[in-house]
């Protein structure tokens, strides 16, 4: 067994090949790694309200949610980096003015624009029906972690990046459903990499002790931070080019094989 490591795992496309299904090989590897004394963290773009109990049941020491804006350790909220309200108001005005499909992530729920309900596939809506609320519902604008938007003829990722890139963090989204392309926006300096660094400091560990696994653009900062950053074979091509290593495909036991390769199990 290798020395104690701090393991960061994306969910969609890394831990799970499709929504909320953890392969038996990945489940066994995660539990074996913790039994060997390693610390295991989810690091996901999902809001806390969208992490299904089947994921939690794997067993983790902590959870990084909303792309790094919210952290729980042993079930307790320990960190949050909510969007500045003036920035949020500007974003809402921008997307409302373009009749956009977008949502606002709070830890306890997600507020969705009316266009989201007409745009999103029914399978996604069924999965999220208990945590989504309409935009008109009252919510605390000081507790918004992240904004997620879908691209359309009036909303292009590049245009949003030009408008907000200097003041926010923008990443292409990783929703594992065809046609659901778009982006994620959080406060400047808030991403999975910054969250991983916070967790490492909390545990008194160095970045050299961290090993991170991901498959999409919002995992890039986390893989850059970790001593070893591993992209999945099924992942984004640019991410695979910058990663220290590429694991096998998520649907072919790639995560479990990588855990074994790095002596985690």
C-alpha separations of 90 from 40, 61, 114, 143, 151 in Å: 37, 36, 18, 16, 18
pLDDT the model gives residue 26: 98
Looking at residue 97, its pLDDT comes to 94
- The model's pLDDT over 144-197, given as tens digits with 9 standing for 90+, comes to 999 999 898 999 999 999 999 999 999 998 655 555 678 999 999 999 999 999
- Domains, the chain: 6-80+190-261 (3.40.50.1000), 85-187 (3.30.1240.10)
Residue 214: CB atoms within 10 Å = 34
155 versus 114: which is more confidently predicted? 155
pLDDT in tens, 223-246: 999 999 999 999 999 999 999 999
Q: What is the 3-state secondary structure (H, E, C) of the chain?
A: CCCCCEEEECCECCCECECCECCHHHHHHHHHHHHCCCEEEEECCCCHHHCCHHHHCCCCCEEEEHHHCEEEECCEEEEECCCCHHHHHHHHHHHHCCCCCEEEECCCCEEECHHHHHHCCHHHHHHHCCCEEECCCCCCHHHCCEEEEECCCCCCHHHHHHHHCCCEEEEECCCCCCCCCEEEEEECCCCHHHHHHHHHHHCCCCHHHEEEEECCHHHHHHHHHCCEEEEECCCCHHHHHHCCEEECCHHHCHHHHHHHHCCCC
- 17-74 pLDDT per residue, tens: 977 899 999 999 999 999 999 999 999 999 999 899 999 999 999 999 999 999 999 9
**Are residues 190 and 68 in contact, defined by beta-carbon separation less than 8 angstroms?**
yes
CA–CA distance from 69 to each of 16, 77, 91, 207 (Å)?
Answer: 22, 11, 17, 19
Residue that the structure tokens 């963290």 belong to: 41
* Entry pTM: 0.92
pLDDT in tens, 205-214: 999 999 999 9
> What pLDDT is recorded for position 72?
98
Residue 132 has pLDDT above 80, yes or no: no
What value does the mean pLDDT take over residues 94-109? 92
Q: With bands split at pLDDT 50, 70 and 90, how would you rate the model's confidence at 113? A: confident
């Amino acid at each position: 067994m290798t020395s104690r490591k701090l393991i960061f795992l994306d969910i969609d496309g890394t831990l799970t090949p499709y929504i909320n299904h953890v392969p038996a090989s990945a489940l066994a590897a995660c539990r074996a790694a913790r039994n060997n004394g390693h610390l295991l963290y989810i690091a996901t773009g999902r809001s806390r309200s969208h992490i299904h109990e089947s994921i939690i049941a794997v067993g983790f020491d902590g959870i990084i949610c909303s792309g790094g804006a919210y952290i729980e350790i042993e079930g307790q909220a320990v960190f949050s980096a909510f969007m500045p309200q003036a920035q949020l108001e500007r974003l809402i005005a921008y997307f409302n003015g373009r009749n956009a499909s977008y949502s606002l992530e709070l830890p306890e729920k997600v507020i969705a624009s009316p266009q989201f309900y007409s745009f999103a596939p029914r399978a996604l809506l069924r999965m999220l029906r208990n945590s989504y609320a309409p935009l008109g519902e009252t919510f605390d604008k000081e507790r918004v972690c992240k904004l997620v938007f879908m691209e359309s003829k009036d909303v292009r990722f590049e245009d949003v990046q030009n408008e907000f890139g200097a003041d926010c963090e923008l990443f292409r989204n990783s929703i594992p459903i065809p046609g659901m392309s778009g982006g994620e926006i959080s406060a400047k300096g808030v991403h999975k990499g910054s969250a991983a660094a916070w967790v490492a400091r909390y545990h008194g560990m160095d970045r050299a002790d961290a090993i991170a696994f991901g498959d999409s653009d919002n995992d890039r900062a986390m893989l850059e931070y970790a001593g070893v950053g591993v992209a999945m074979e099924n992942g984004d091509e640019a991410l695979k080019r910058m990663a220290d290593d590429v694991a096998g495909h998520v649907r072919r036991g790639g995560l479990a094989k990588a855990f074994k390769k790095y002596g985690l199990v």
